[in-house]
A = this chain, B = another copy of it.
Amino acid sequence: MAANIRDIARAAGVSVSTVSKALNEYPSVNAETREKVLRIARELRYEPNAAARALVGQRSMTLGVFLTTGLAHPFFASLLGGIDRALREKGYDLIYLSQARLGPEYSLVRHCRTRNVEGVLAFGLQDTDLSFAELAEAELPAVFIDLDIKGSRIGMVTSDNAQAIREAVGRLHALGHRRIAYVAGLAGTYVEKLRKRGFRQGLEDHGLAERPEYVVGDDFTQASGYEAMQRLLALVERPTAVVCCSDLSALGAMQAAAERGLSVPGDISVVGFDDIEAARAGRPALTTIRQDMPGMGYAAVALLDRLITEEPGSRSEADRRIVLPTEWVSRDSCGPAATADR
């Protein structure tokens, strides 16, 4: 029942190759012929068959997406928004690549080959996954989000994590804070490494010494933030401001402060990271560092497209890394340091 190119050719009284050319906007087709073909295609509700196109050896226009921590990320939805937009603009479709290996014989690269996947988008925190090495080896173009993987056809998109935290420290300093703590995220992850680095740079910028007891936390979760804050509040000389690696941990931290009877930002200021929905809903509303998730998604697909279509090696290592700026979102969880604490 579905019309194909031959049906159109017959109805239009031209050859299939002419139809193909008309449909693909070849310049060599007579304007009238093209219009006629296009009109008939519409009438017949013609839809090109992607499988046939892929088979004939050209592009499959298929990208794969591989998620490690993936969807648990509270802002994956916004990432996807940007990915989606870029996908449409470039004409790609996205296929989901399972992270659940059923049996050791499963291979990401083989899966991609079978489905004619032209490039893969990977997202997550763990870079320990073996598949990544496999990807690089296979020369399959790939773009990682927040993951530091190298390879000739591998790109990366991330936020300017270090700069963001560094700036946060600066802003707290400007508010009079001198005892600034950092609630760290999962050790070993790329973003955590940079955020911690940014924290140190921020302290340095203002001649503040780093105190080991002011660096706590070991995960991006709410629970980690909660416990971290408890430890901070048990200190003899407690911090007046806390920069957190994530909104979730900041929320946990605020919870701990509230239980302790401390007011935020009256007694202690708190800064988050990400700007998830709950940041706005929290009491007090969380001051945080917004990542441009849609922008990252969009940039990732655009970069992947370039990696696929350009000559391998035509862009430099640096040229395959995209670092997006973050945005300081001032809400209610930060305030001036109490004067007694200065």
Contacts and interface: CB of A to CB of B under 8 A. Distances in A.
Contacts of A51: 50-52, 54-55, 60, 116
Interface stretch (A13-21, A95-103, A207-215, A267-275): A95-103
A89 B98 CA distance: 12
A296 to B, nearest CB: 15
A94 interface: yes
A49 interface: yes
Nearest to A72: B77
Interface in A292-323: none
Contact of A49 (B2, B52, B55, B100): B55
Given A50-B115, A50-B116, A55-B52, A80 B71 contact: yes
A277 B276 CA distance: 15
B110 A47 contact: yes
A139 B230 CA distance: 58
Contacts of A70: 77, 80
Contacts of A60: 51
A224 to B, nearest CB: 10
A88 interface: yes
Contacts of A110: 45, 47
Interface string A71-101: 1101011001100110111000111101110
Interface stretch (A159-167, A174-182, A252-260, A324-332): A252-260
The 4 closest A-B pairs by CB, nearest first: A71-B77, A51-B54, A94-B96, A72-B77
Given A81-B100, A88-B100, 13 more contacts: A49-B55, A49-B116, A51-B116, A55-B55, A71-B80, A84-B100, A94-B95, A95-B96, A221-B281, A222-B278, A223-B281, A258-B258, A259-B283
